[in-house]
Amino acid sequence: MTLRINDVAPDFKAETTKGPINFHEWIGDGWAILFSHPKDFTPVCTTELGYMARIEPEFTKRNARLIGLSVDPVDSHQRWLGDIEETQGAKVNYPIIADRDLAVSKLYNMLPAEETGTSEGRTPVTNQTVRTVFVIGPDKRIKMMLAYPMTTGRNFDEILRVIDSIQMTAKHRVATPANWKQGEDVIIASSVSDEEAKKLFPGGWKTVKPYLRVVGQPR
């Protein structure tokens, strides 16, 4: 199944380092960041999960929960958590899914090789998950997807930036330009007429082109 933005995120049941979960129930009425890593006890993954542990409070501020995933078993995850805390200086408090049967990996297209539907001919490499990230909204729909090669650690600050943009769009009917950061000017959404914009942004805006109207970030 090919997933696209605005598709309903597939629901599933899974074992995690925090016990069994039903994914949609676990999300509740907030946001979720589901991210996979290729394998426990590997260098890039160790830095990634440690960094996510350090910035988890930033996701909490945005009503977003973190959940990791790899095909390793729970006991492997639990043993690895000690290494993450020792080397990265942060304790992982979010759950990590043990996707031993590849069920979630298949649902979310997280595998690096074409899935045959059987284990025959597969190797430890093809069973590893790529570095994927799914941002899922309270409506259980996919808001963003990212996939990185196994050798490249992800920029998780970008995930925070995207959540800020999406949440602001939903509240204020604006879009964010390239490389936007918190506090910078934004763009009035194309769906907003000038008449509507006068009510939404009484302080006015800068019209660069009729289709490009720049305004200060709403508060």
Cα 186 to Cα 174: distance, rounded to the nearest angstrom = 7
Burial category of 102 from C-beta neighbours within 10 Å (exposed 0-12, middle 13-18, buried 19 and up): middle
Of 14, 45, 111, 168, the active-site residue reads 45
Picking from 146, 180, 148, the residue whose alpha carbon sits closest to that of residue 166 is 180
Sheet architecture: strand order including 64-70:
96-98, 64-70, 31-36, 131-136, 142-148
Known catalytic residue at 118: no
- Written as six digits, the tokens of 126 are 């093809």
Helices (runs of H) and strands (runs of E) counted in the chain: 6, 11
Residue located via tokens 């830095």: 47
Helix, strand and coil content of the chain, in percent to the nearest 5, comes to 30, 20, 45
Cα 210 to Cα 71: distance, rounded to the nearest angstrom = 50
Burial category of 104 from C-beta neighbours within 10 Å (exposed 0-12, middle 13-18, buried 19 and up): buried
Catalytic residues: 45
